[in-house]
Amino acid sequence: MPTSAERLAQSLQTLNSLGDEAQRIFTQLYPEAAQEAAQAADQRAARGLSLGPLDGKLVSIKDLLDVAGQVTTAGAKMRRHSAPATHDAPVVQRLRAAGAVIVGKTNMTEFAFSGVGINPHFGTPGNAADVLHIPGGSSSGAGVSVGRGLVDIAIGSDTGGSVRIPAAFNGVTGFKPTQARVSRDGAFPLSYTLDALGPLARSVADCAAADAIMAGTIPQALPPRSLQGLRIGLPQGLPWTDCSAEVLAQTEQAIASLQAQGASIRKLAWQDLMAAPAQLQSEGTLIAAEAATIHQQALVDTRDAFDPRVLSRMDKGRALTAPYYIQLLQQRQQWIARMDAAMQEVDLLLLPTIAITAPAIAPLLEDDSAFFAANALILRNTSIFNFYDLPAISLPLPRVAGSLPVGLMLVGARMQDANLLALAAAAEQALAQA
């Protein structure tokens, strides 16, 4: 089995061979520091020592997390010459202490404000399955770095789906935790209310290990769980509309596979619960309001430096009134209580992560209306569960020859993250055997 240092060397060699594409995936690389960390992990392994399941794993960090001595660009041209961070973000500190080998920082949508993954400043990384298609965002480089095998684990943020979307589009696993479990200190914010930090990896086990480290707990092996009698609910309504035939067919096949393993699948008449987040925010979103506050001065002083598509959404946030915003926060709490009560009926929710497979990049670069329509559809399903603050994971479905990746989203009860991850591992095994 290759050592950590050997795998790092292979990854860096691959990146070198990618030319400009490498710079669209990673905004910064740390080869010397990574080599030291990999060699230290290999020395521990040679002595039969281990710091845990992340020891020697190659990890990428989304470029909105602080790394000491490095500029945190958050995907924005205007931040290229900002002062370097003085400290690692707590999640980065914890990853290092667990023996993770930090390879570099990954590209992202400007200020994390889009699910598409296009960035006019740093370029747009091509999808791991087909470079002519979008990577998904906002953790675009994160999804591609795992999807192309450049790292074992990527750390992203998820405000409306920004971990699960690139995971689904690039054929990997992505986990969004219940928000309060993982510190967001040292992470450049998009929305104080909705931001969460989570991992992308090629397995549920790696996501679970990274999540535990990020949350400051001791990683435990996921307990084996049976799907026999598992109550899986399919929330009806919005998540199933406007889905491509390909996504629906693969999702139905996955449902059949889980049923064959004994899972009890039933449709839930939750149309109101699924529609409420979008309906309540029809005049403006929490994200737009809070982003407009975070960037209040820049929206006046340096407007020309913004990605115009990000700027237009932040301007909508500036136009929202304080009564509207406060009422929205209060209504959200009421709907969260309704959702928490409803979740007692099931063990898991199941639905497509995204209604479509990854669209081509070129048409979305050229046409604003096409971009915004795609962005809304891409974010639709995932953002529901940021609104309700439920843990959610996207699993890659078995690839159909000649097709792009499709993701399956499983959702658990709030603060029941460990249970969701264990059940997701059982589902992952069942899907692999199908």
Catalytic residue numbers read 62, 138, 162
**What is d(CA 111, CA 124) in angstroms, rounded to the nearest whole number?**
14
Residue 75 Ramachandran class (φ > 0 left, ψ -120 to 50 alpha, else beta): left
Q: What are phi and psi of 333, to 5 degrees?
A: -60, -40
Residue 241 Ramachandran class (φ > 0 left, ψ -120 to 50 alpha, else beta): beta
Q: Which residues pair with 411 in a beta bridge?
A: 349, 392
Q: Which residues pair with 266 in a beta bridge?
A: 233
DSSP of 273-304: HHHHHHHHTTT--HHHHHHHHHTTTHHHH-GG
Kindly provide the b/e burial profile for residues 92-128, where b requires at least 16 CB atoms within 10 angstroms of the residue's own CB: bbbbbebbbbbbbbbbbbbbbbbbbbbbebbbbbbbb
Structure token pair of residue 77: 């041209």
Structure token pair of residue 74: 């958050």
Q: Compute CA 267 distance to the chain's CA centroid, rounded to the nearest angstrom.
A: 26
**What is d(CA 255, CA 259) in angstroms, rounded to the nearest whole number?**
6
**What is d(CA 255, CA 212) in angstroms, rounded to the nearest whole number?**
28
**What is d(CA 256, CA 265) in angstroms, rounded to the nearest whole number?**
9
Residue linked to tokens 């596979």: 257
Is residue 159 classed exposed, middle or buried when 0-12, 13-18 and 19+ CB atoms within 10 A define those classes?
buried
Residue linked to tokens 């090629």: 202
Cβ neighbours of residue 170 under 8 Å, at least 6 residues apart?
127, 128, 129, 135, 136, 143, 144, 146, 147, 405
**What is d(CA 291, CA 313) in angstroms, rounded to the nearest whole number?**
9
